[in-house]
Amino acid sequence: MTTLTVTARGQVTFRKDVLQHLGIEPGEKIELDKLPDGRVTLRAVRPAGTIDGFLGLLAGKTKKIATLDELNEAAAANWAGQE
């Protein structure tokens, strides 16, 4: 168990090993949920990706332009475990 000290300003500093356990890097956010019995749950905030963000990762990686039918066929084949 890790014990933390609350400052006069109501702030708490988490130890490095706790942040590493949560997978939190400097600048990232933490989500805290208050439970009815006075306990809390704490976890790293993981942003939900968007299709625009995903497609942005692929931008400039290839010169081929796939049709919608080709994309659907590739998705169906991979969903079925085919390469």
pLDDT for position 75: 82
Indicate the pTM of the whole model.
0.48
Domain 1-60 has CATH 3.40.630.10: no
Each domain of the chain, given as residue ranges in start order, spans: 1-60
Quickly list DSSP for the chain: -------TTS-----HHHHHHHTPPTT--EEEEE-TTS-EEEEE--PPP-HHHHHHHHTTS-S----HHHHHHHHHHHHTT--
Residues in the chain: 83
pLDDT for position 11: 94
Mean local confidence (pLDDT), 46-65: 69
